[in-house]
């Protein structure tokens, strides 16, 4: 029995998305099924955002979308329409001065292999901005979606504490 609808007729083959990525305007023609992660890494060559599990379980792909952290592997890129996307590459100052959270990660050697570090940093920035860095348990809870296979958690915790104190002071 035929429905009279051709396969694929209900889906657009491409969608134009206009957004800002790390402060720069971007206009892309996308397959509506593309993830924000794949667009950031493959089309925009911003490879600091890592593809870990590609299932939303590890947090390596954490970016900010309109100031809120998201797992880029689970976020359709079309959700970035008219939005502001911030990746690890856009976090430092234009002159290269590290963001306070990046500096705190350096100060506390809060990394080993470094693969999870961009996602950890992006989550830590959001954790502090959201007001969830008041104590160790809160920090652990709000960073629990970011996994570190190397076990650099003590350094990560110390880095977030330092950056949170600095943010509170001024």
> Is domain 100-169 in CATH 1.10.150.120, yes or no?
yes
Neighbour-count burial of 147, counting CB atoms closer than 10 A to its CB (0-12 exposed, 13-18 middle, 19+ buried): middle
Read off the pLDDT of residues 85-94 as tens digits, 9 standing for 90 and up: 999 999 999 9
Please give the CATH topology (third level) of the domain spanning 15-90.
Ubiquitin-like (UB roll) (3.10.20)
pLDDT given at position 3: 41
Over the stretch 123-150, which tens digit does the pLDDT of each residue have? 999 999 999 999 999 999 999 999 999 9
Q: What is the mean pLDDT of residues 61-74?
A: 98
pTM of the model: 0.91
Outline which parts of the chain fall under CATH 3.10.20.30: 15-90
Pairwise CA distance, residues 43 & 138, whole Å = 36
Q: Is residue 154 within 8 Å of 111, Cβ to Cβ? A: no
């Amino acid at each position: 029995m035929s429905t009279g609808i051709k396969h694929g007729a209900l889906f657009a083959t491409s969608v134009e998305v206009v957004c800002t990525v790390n402060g720069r305007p971007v206009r892309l023609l996308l397959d509506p099924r593309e993830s924000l992660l794949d667009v950031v890494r493959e089309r925009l060559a911003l490879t600091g955002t890592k593809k870990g599990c590609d299932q939303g379980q590890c947090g390596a792909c954490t970016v900010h979308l309109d100031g809120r952290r998201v797992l880029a592997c689970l976020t359709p890129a079309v959700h970035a329409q008219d939005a502001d996307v911030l990746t690890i590459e856009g976090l430092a100052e234009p002159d290269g001065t590290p963001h306070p959270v990046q500096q705190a990660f350096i100060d506390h050697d809060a990394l080993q292999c470094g693969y999870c570090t961009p996602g950890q940093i992006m989550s830590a920035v959001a954790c502090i901005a959201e007001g969830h860095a008041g104590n160790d348990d809160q920090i652990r809870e709000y960073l629990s979606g970011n996994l570190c296979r190397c076990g650099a958690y003590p350094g990560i915790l110390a880095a977030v504490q330092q950056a949170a104190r600095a943010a509170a002071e001024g």
